[in-house]
A and B are shown apart, each in its own frame.
Chain A
């Protein structure tokens, strides 16, 4: 029997009284790089949190390697799946390697200290993401791209078959963005399964093996990027007119939105311009008074 790394059955999650996602079903196999896309506030991060067990689902079950996640202890879970959160604030002057070392936590008993084997693992992980030369630099002093790669190394140090990454590439420059995607692609080719929340649709199209489109509290589409990134699907999810064009030279998909509220905005803009003129006139009159 083919075994699924992750399976989601009839999952509903939400906060207090409001539901964010309802009746979600999907499963993933080993080696897939799954991008979760959708509008801001559609529930992408919520879905990821529910998969990682940070949110208790209202209904439904998430299975990892065939076992329901509610049956895991904290440490067992951390050996199955790692999670990279959107923003990490590090107080005090912790060095990059201290952060990565935290990834070894699930493998140590409470009285144990990290040993040589753990050091080797964090060295390999940091070398892979290209931050080993920054190991002794305080985390706070690193640039955004460096911080993100340090955190990725931490997640790798957990040696989990599953990785959940919440916007790992957002806010980075174009080089680091692609670098992160490339790293993920390679990791999947050696057998890891990655779920990541992505905002950059063209990048998602290029690197992910599969996309989940979230919107209207459900999964609107699930499949290969070319099948998910259609004008019809995106218009439904982003509630705006979308154009999907294949760039003939690169063969990559390019996605544009069409302007929906031109008139409304133009009249508002004119108002703003008028107000500024009025202010200028008033200012001049005040200046004149001062001169007198």
Chain B
């Protein structure tokens, strides 16, 4: 009996590796597809040849690539795919962390003022004409706005040095609405061309992403992911609620703020290099919880790979569905995410009754 129970636990552990392996395979597949598909079709063999030749692997060295193919792959598709993976991974992990911090399955990185703050920062950058000076102003303003949004939210929710989850959630909604109103206010005052620019940014997308974006995003996002994973056990305890966490010796407020800061920074970085992309942070952790359970040691790594894969897949689908028009990744995530989320809700309702 006891051996059985232990065996079950170990097979439980093994299935994590299997699922992780599966997710990585899926990512490699989707990644290759993302490199190969688009306005200029590049055969899979050439994509593999390009990758092998780039890192000097002894395969496909005899396949000749046209300079055009190399240029498309190197300057357009590779950074685009990498940005997609980074942003997707960051959003999914942040989503899982936010859901744990709030003990609320509906929490999402956007809910504590990150997205609305970023939008506000972006619209300020556009309205002031900073975007014409350098491409870095926009992400910088969005990032600043996102962090400001979070800080205001946390400040409003703070009571005697404590940050109750419910107060945080509510103040997030309020700050979000206020910032959205400010953004709309500015939008009504700027000219059409700038309006177009904002619209382009606010519907998150991966097109025209360059190596600059990869460089900009990789540091904060990678650091955020590692920190979140290191605090997986803390997350497991935090989910049990404030009193439970405090009585087993956790400084609840400190950890909540640290985790919130890490998740916000990761999300803000994602938003500033690719615009607002919804549903990844909400849907991916849920999907993965079904597969590997709620333990964050398992949930976080799987969510990271799955989130990245999901966003690259959405971008890829958006490119091939109706060429030559590209459907932006932020729209595709909503198209794919909404039905799945509805399915989840209905399934859960049935379980509860």
Residues of A within 8 A of B (CB): 52, 54, 73-79, 82-83, 85, 88-95, 98-99, 101-103, 105-106, 108, 110-114, 123, 132-133, 135-136, 158
Contact = CB atoms under 8 A, between A and B. Distances in A.
B297 interface: yes
Interface of B: 1-2, 5, 8-9, 12, 99, 103-105, 230-231, 233-234, 236-237, 239-241, 243-251, 289, 293-295, 297
Given A88-B240, A113-B233, A94 B294 contact: yes
B157 to A, nearest CB: 19
A136 B9 contact: yes
Nearest to B104: A91
B289 A74 contact: no
| 9 closest A-B pairs by CB | A78-B249, A106-B249, A75-B249, A92-B294, A83-B247, A105-B248, A74-B249, A91-B103, A102-B237
Nearest to A113: B233
Contact of A93 (B240, B246, B289): B289
Nearest to A99: B240
B222 to A, nearest CB: 18
A98 B295 contact: yes
A106 B248 contact: yes
A102 B240 contact: yes
B248 A158 contact: yes
Contacts, number: 90
B118 to A, nearest CB: 28
B248 A92 contact: no
A112 B99 CA distance: 22
Question: Chain B: interface secondary structure?
Answer: helix
B239 A91 contact: yes
A103 B249 CA distance: 9
Nearest to B248: A105
B239 A74 contact: no
With most chain B CB atoms within 10 A of its CB, the pick from A79, A85, A93, A102 is: A102
B248 to A, nearest CB: 4
Nearest to B103: A91
B284 to A, nearest CB: 15
Contacts of A88: 240-241, 244
Contact of B236 (A73, A91, A102, A111): A102
B297 A133 contact: no
A110 B105 CA distance: 25
Nearest to A82: B247
B166 to A, nearest CB: 13
Contact of A133 (B1, B239, B248): B1
B240 A90 contact: yes
A75 B244 CA distance: 13
B249 A94 contact: no
Contacts of B249: 73-79, 105-106
A92 B239 contact: yes
Contacts of A114: 233
Contacts of A133: 1, 5
A158 B294 CA distance: 22
A106 B251 CA distance: 11
13 contacts: A74-B246, A78-B247, A82-B248, A83-B247, A90-B241, A95-B293, A102-B240, A102-B244, A110-B231, A110-B234, A113-B297, A114-B233, A135-B5
B300 to A, nearest CB: 13
A79 B99 CA distance: 28
B233 A108 contact: yes
A79 B332 CA distance: 50
Given A89-B103, A92-B294, A110-B233, 6 more contacts: A54-B247, A75-B249, A83-B243, A101-B236, A111-B230, A132-B5
Contacts of B234: 110
A206 to B, nearest CB: 28
A196 to B, nearest CB: 15
Contacts of B247: 52, 54, 78, 82-83, 85
A74 B251 contact: yes
B105 to A, nearest CB: 7
Nearest to B8: A136
A102 B248 contact: yes
